[in-house]
């Protein structure tokens, strides 16, 4: 047993449940139970506990964004003019609201944040950068890197 949350330990069955659901979040409880070597009821109880304890945060569809016309990916370095806690909090709240921001990470280094931005094309990215990213609280400067090809995305 290892890893604790809320004072409860998770074991090999819990890890197997998590791994199976990461691979296929739509798996039925019957298929999940078979895959991890449990009967349905104990598997369902464990799944409920993993959700309640925050090991499993939710389930979502992974879509082919290219088919939805979101072919352009850019990584944007953001440097803030102020890195005190109130400025970081304001930036975080505002960045979470932007639909085009797929990921936002605070970075230890020469800049403060790294954003993964997905848009339809470079022209749309330019608008997002100029009108939205640059307008986020405390943004002092940005630098952009355009992805040419996704070798691995969404853990797949």
Centroid of chain to Cα 49: 22
Using alpha carbons only, how large is the chain's radius of gyration in Å? Answer: 20
DSSP bridge partners of 114: 77, 105
* pLDDT of the residue at 131: 97
Mean pLDDT of 124-151: 97
pLDDT band (50, 70, 90) for residue 4: low
Q: What is the pLDDT of residues 16-74, one digit of tens each?
A: 999 999 989 999 999 999 999 999 999 999 999 999 999 999 988 888 888 999 999 99
d(CA 82, CA 30): 52
Residues contacting 83, CB < 8 A, separation 6+: 112
Sheet strands (E) in the chain = 2-5, 8-10, 72-80, 101-106, 113-119, 139-146
Q: What is the pLDDT of residues 68-116, one digit of tens each?
A: 999 999 999 999 999 999 999 999 999 999 999 999 999 999 999 999 9
Which residue's entry shows tokens 């992805």? 147
């Amino acid at each position: 047993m290892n890893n604790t949350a809320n004072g409860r330990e998770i074991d090999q069955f819990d890890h197997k449940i998590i791994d199976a659901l990461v691979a296929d979040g739509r798996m039925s409880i019957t298929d999940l139970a078979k895959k991890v070597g449990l009967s349905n009821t104990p598997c369902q109880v464990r799944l409920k506990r993993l959700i309640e304890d925050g090991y499993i945060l939710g389930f979502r569809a992974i879509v082919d964004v290219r088919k939805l016309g979101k072919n352009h990916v850019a990584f944007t370095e953001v440097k803030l003019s102020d890195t005190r806690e109130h400025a970081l909090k304001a930036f975080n709240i505002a960045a979470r609201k932007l639909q085009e921001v797929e990921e936002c990470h605070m970075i230890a280094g020469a800049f403060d944040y790294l954003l993964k931005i997905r848009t339809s094309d470079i022209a749309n990215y330019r608008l997002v950068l100029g009108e939205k990213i640059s307008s986020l609280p405390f943004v002092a400067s940005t630098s952009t890197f355009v992805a040419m090809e996704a070798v691995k995305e969404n853990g797949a």
